[in-house]
Amino acid sequence: MASSLELQALLEKLIGSRNVYFQPPASVQMKYPAIRYSRDGIENKVANDAVYNQIYSYEVIVIDRDPDSVILGKVSILPMCRFVRHYVADNLNHDVFKLYF
């Protein structure tokens, strides 16, 4: 299991900036393009009545004015990542992924 700090660093490297936000409160003014992510679940691997491994899943949202953002391709090829949906809000394109990290 990798740490959330490693995930933060990976996403910042992909986007090429520090516009990566982990569960930002409403008071935070995000700058675009951006990635917003939050913990979505924990999958436990069990044997002999004990948890021996945990895999965290995250909802990762790429937010950009450009509907053909190059960030989409970078996020979509991450290991154990899958595209979930696309929507537009406030004239911004939101592409949602589920990432196991």
Evaluate whether 19 touches 35 at the Cβ level (below 8 Å). Answer: yes
Domain holding 46, by residue range, is 4-100
Model pTM score: 0.90
Taking only the tens place, the pLDDT of each residue in 22-78 is 999 889 999 999 999 999 999 999 999 999 999 999 999 999 999 999 999 999 999
Taking only the tens place, the pLDDT of each residue in 88-100 is 999 999 999 999 9
State residue 76's pLDDT score. Answer: 96
State residue 1's pLDDT score. Answer: 53
Does pLDDT of 5 surpass 80? Answer: yes
Confidence of residue 15 (pLDDT cuts 50, 70, 90): very high
- Domains of the chain: total: 1
C-alpha dihedral over 67, 15, 39, 90, to 10 degrees? -30
| CATH number where 28 lies | 3.30.2000.30
